Structure formats: C-alpha cells, structure tokens
Amino acid sequence: MPLSHVADDGSVVMVDVSEKPKTARIAVAEGTITMKRETFEAIRSRTLAKGDALATAQIAGIIASKQTSSLIPLCHPLFLSHVAVSFTFQEETPAILCRCETKTTTETGVEMEALTGCSVALLTIYDMCKAMDRGMRIGEIHVALKDGGKDGRYVG
C-alpha cells in the first residue's frame, strides 16, 4: 500500500479528503500516569499546592484536541462536535487512567484529536504534580475505539 502522505516525487503532502463523504466519526484514546501513593492521594483529595490537577488537565485535554492540526503538521483542521476528557483512579497501581473521546461529522477521522487530548491531559497532571513526584510515568497511550468512515469500527 502506498504511503498516503508521500507524493510520487517523495515530497510530503496532506491527504486530499475532498472527495470523501462526510460521516459521523468518533474516537477514544486512553493512557495512564503512574505515581507515588502520596501524589495519588493529593490529586484525589484536591490538596495539591497548584490546585485541582484533574480539572486543569480536563480543560487542557479539551483545548489540545481542538488544536491538534496546529501541532501535528499533516492533520486536517476539524470542527469537533464533542470532546470529553475523564479520569479513573486505579487504586492498586496507583495510577490515573485518562480517557479522551472526540466526535465530528466530516471526511476524516478524529483519532489524532483524541490521542492529542489524552496526551496533553496526562502531561498536565505531570506538570501539576512534578514538585512532589518527578518519577511519575506516562504511558500506554493508545486508540481504544475508532468508528465511522470507510474502515468502520476499530476497538483497540
């Protein structure tokens, strides 16, 4: 299969989606940040010196999703009809799972927007907590769901 972002002469191109039909599309990305128990409890109890890490990370993830085409050179700018960033405490690890869901009705998918939102939300948690825990680890960022378009449904 030829690479979609490479022209015949080897130059880089943005994929032409003008002939594709507009369809409803959804993507969900997930990732985790692991940390010391003390950091985990401070986030949960909202006692960090910098404030509420999850509220700040939620806003950052939404903004990042909307700015994806400014960050990833060949991404199309999309109108997002919905972005939701949520968090789940994973008690045993301790870690926080971030989930970013994006939706649109357009000619191309929204998985890059979901991945960007998830990544920036997790980076924001790191930034808010780094004074007490520089050993936090961000990882396992992946597309958990993609639906819509010619390829249909993908569950990762």
Which active-site residues does the annotation give?
127
Integer angstrom CA distances of residue 37 from 16, 44, 93: 48, 10, 9
| Residue 88 burial (CB count, 10 A) | 12
Kind of pairing between the strands at 137-147 and 82-90: unpaired
E strand residue ranges, 13-107? 23-34, 82-90, 95-106
